[in-house]
Structure 1
Amino acid sequence: MLFAILFSSRTAVAPLERLKILLQVQNPHSIRYNGTIQGLKYIWRTEGFRGLFKGNGTNCARIIPNSAVKFFSYEEASKGILWLYRQQTGNQDAQLTPILRLGAGACAGIIAMSATYPMDMVRGRLTVQTDQSPRRYRGIFHALSTVLREEGPRALYKGWLPSVIGVVPYVGLNFAVYESLKDWLIKSKPYGLVDSSELSVTTKLACGAAAGTVGQTVAYPLDVIRRRMQMVGWKDAASVVTGDGKTKAPIDYTGMVDAFRKTVRHEGIGALYKGLIPNSVKVVPSIAIAFVTYELVKDILQVEFRISD
């Protein structure tokens, strides 16, 4: 059931996800993707229907363990933080505050991201491959083995530091804003609800969309830097053809700070938000489809099931 929810939501927005990554790592010397509509049309014209879904298989395979670890870690971290908070304040009825939820969400995000990071790294490279690029990776396992053999184990964690830093505001704000909005709606006098189970799917969808929008906007520059660092050392496949017919390898980065500095210096601060529009567009439909699929599958199987299970 959980697989159906995640697979449906991820696959539906896969074209926007791929375009986002292509915009993030696009060589400034050869602009092929210029905006959401033009970018999707270009992919369709040059790579066909299948090109819109490159990297989606890896993303779906990664998201199952990632989500499982994330939700489990969040619940366990929340219990631990709440216990410590109650011990410190001496109030056994105390509840998690938005800041404490932020901390629990950040812990969950870091653990889940670290556990599945190698798959995210090769997913980025598989997504960037085009029909015009030299083909080096035939799939997840081929990409993992090739990177290990040619670049070493550390290469599987390129871009891990900005990912860790970015996951704090992203996942942390997601959980904090989502849970806080639900609490606010429940406690608001006009609603008079008892618990979150009485909230409609549409209301929860709105809370999730708001949380996702806030989190991804704050953390987005770190996501751009992460993707660019993941491409370092993959010059043959990541290089692109410029207007004069020559190949131009992507800029090499020695670390996160160097990547920030060179990106801003060569392309301006706006480069830190490349791909933000398609990424924002996919937030609402992704969450919407996840909730709708969840309700439909639950009705078909006639079971009561929580996503956090």
Structure 2
Amino acid sequence: MASEDVKTSESAVSKIVNLAEEAKLAGEGVKAPSYAVLSICKSLVAGGVAGAVSRTAVAPLERLKILLQVQNPHSIKYNGTIQGLKYIWRTEGFRGLFKGNGTNCARIVPNSAVKFFSYEQASKGILYLYQHHTGNEDAELTPLLRLGAGACAGIIAMSATYPMDMVRGRLTVQTEKSPYRYRGIFHALSTVLREEGPRALYRGWFPSVIGVVPYVGLNFAVYESLKVWLIKTKPLGLAEDSELSVTTRLACGAAAGTVGQTVAYPLDVIRRRMQMVGWKEASSVVIGDGRNRAPLEYNGMIDAFRKTVRHEGFGALYKGLVPNSVKVVPSISLAFVTYEVVKDILGVEIRISD
């Protein structure tokens, strides 16, 4: 009897232990998805904040860049960065420097959120495939693989928010003297959709796709590769215990932004000009051919390149590069550093480099 009682007791204990284990696993099963969702939300918030902070800081230079890109060469208003900013201040006041920034932030917040999150996911997927292909579970992403992950992230983010970028360009270009004015983001979207059709919202999308590959790809690849190199080599004592100072990370972001925008800038000019096609009232600011003040019509990306170079020379592909270069240094730097700082504040353990 005693033996049977012992066996019965052991059986009962075993059942209790099994039930406890099942409950624990069930609890973890419930907790894991909620934790994953929370982590995703935190990552998206960090990316959105990074985009808003970085873009607002350089809004005047962003507007001037677009005005330089599309101004009529036979009616020059903006001759350079300093003169251009002074002209905007004199003719439109302080608010003129930030015209279009609300639209820009409305676009850049989701764009930045999706871009950083997409990069993290693309990096994980590419790293998994790379480790599986090489058979080395300790393999790390190479600069080329980071370029690929950044390109994927840029394409996804740009495609998701492209209509906002299109109307942002038009809102930024219009002035107090424009014959026709869009009243805001939604008015611009509805007007373009009604008068020019849904395809107009994605005009210039193809050169944007091509341009985003080197731009965003190089941004992420250069930034992360520089960080990894500095952490491993520790030149001049810049890295301590696998950590870089905010100043060093800002410098890495500045280098990444400079490389990326220099390579991709001509495509950005073509994209912006193609976005203005169909807006007849933009003739005072969009390029004309000298004989006719109406804006040139482009039949595609190649045609836009050809006509721009033929009428204005190769240098036209780099119009607005100076203010763009000036803004890229703080913009990209602030975006990367703000993203990582906000994730630290929100308690997200994984950074983009991890």
TM-score by length of 1: 0.90
Find out whether 1:43 has 2:83 as its counterpart.
no
Determine which of 155, 160, 165 is the counterpart of 2:200.
Answer: 155
Unaligned runs of at least 5 residues, structure 1: none
Distance in 1 of aligned mates of 2:124 and 2:335 = 26
Determine which of 59, 72, 95 is the counterpart of 2:140.
Answer: 95
Residue in structure 2 matched with residue 202 of structure 1 by the alignment:
247
Deviation at 1:30, TM superposition (A): 0.9
1:56-82 deviation line (CA, Å, top 9, x unaligned): 000111111101111111111111111
User: What secondary structure sits across from 1:124 in the alignment?
Assistant: helix
The answer as to whether partners of 1:187 and 1:193 remain within 8 angstroms in 2 is: no
Residue in structure 2 matched with residue 138 of structure 1 by the alignment:
183
**Larger proportion of helix:** 2
Determine which of 101, 109, 114 is the counterpart of 1:69.
Answer: 114
1:266-309 deviation line (CA, Å, top 9, x unaligned): 0000000000000110122334555786799789xx65457969
The answer as to whether partners of 2:174 and 2:282 remain within 8 angstroms in 1 is: yes
Distance in 2 of aligned mates of 1:303 and 1:104 = 24
The answer as to whether partners of 1:263 and 1:271 remain within 8 angstroms in 2 is: yes
Residue in structure 2 matched with residue 26 of structure 1 by the alignment:
71
The 1:23–1:79 alpha-carbon spacing in structure 2 relative to 1, beyond 3 Å, is same
User: What secondary structure sits across from 1:221 in the alignment?
Assistant: helix
Structure 2 residue identity aligned to 1:79: K
TM-score by length of 2: 0.79
Residue in structure 2 matched with residue 121 of structure 1 by the alignment:
166
Residue in structure 2 matched with residue 14 of structure 1 by the alignment:
59
Structure 2 residue identity aligned to 1:145: S
Residue in structure 1 matched with residue 154 of structure 2 by the alignment:
109
The answer as to whether partners of 2:64 and 2:320 remain within 8 angstroms in 1 is: yes
Deviation at 1:132, TM superposition (A): 1.3
Alignment of 1:221-232 (within 5 A): 221-232=266-277
User: What secondary structure sits across from 2:249 in the alignment?
Assistant: helix
Structure 2 residue identity aligned to 1:120: D
The 1:86–1:307 alpha-carbon spacing in structure 2 relative to 1, beyond 3 Å, is closer
Distance in 1 of aligned mates of 2:343 and 2:123 = 26
Distance in 2 of aligned mates of 1:263 and 1:295 = 40
The answer as to whether partners of 1:136 and 1:237 remain within 8 angstroms in 2 is: no
The 1:307–1:255 alpha-carbon spacing in structure 2 relative to 1, beyond 3 Å, is farther
Q: What RMSD in Å do the two structures reach over aligned CA positions?
A: 2.5
Residue in structure 2 matched with residue 177 of structure 1 by the alignment:
222
Residue in structure 2 matched with residue 270 of structure 1 by the alignment:
315
Find out whether 1:261 has 2:295 as its counterpart.
no
Deviation at 1:22, TM superposition (A): 0.4
The 1:199–1:239 alpha-carbon spacing in structure 2 relative to 1, beyond 3 Å, is same
1:17-64 deviation line (CA, Å, top 9, x unaligned): 000000001111211111101111111111111111111000111111
User: What secondary structure sits across from 1:54 in the alignment?
Assistant: coil
The answer as to whether partners of 1:27 and 1:240 remain within 8 angstroms in 2 is: yes
Identity of aligned residues (%): 82
Structure 2 residue identity aligned to 1:237: A
Distance in 2 of aligned mates of 1:52 and 1:247 = 30
Residue in structure 1 matched with residue 3 of structure 2 by the alignment:
none
The answer as to whether partners of 2:71 and 2:284 remain within 8 angstroms in 1 is: no
Q: Which has the larger radius of gyration?
A: 2
Distance in 1 of aligned mates of 2:280 and 2:286 = 12
The answer as to whether partners of 1:169 and 1:218 remain within 8 angstroms in 2 is: yes
The answer as to whether partners of 1:240 and 1:248 remain within 8 angstroms in 2 is: no
The 1:49–1:307 alpha-carbon spacing in structure 2 relative to 1, beyond 3 Å, is farther
Distance in 2 of aligned mates of 1:240 and 1:68 = 32
Q: Larger deviation: 97-106 or 280-289?
A: 280-289
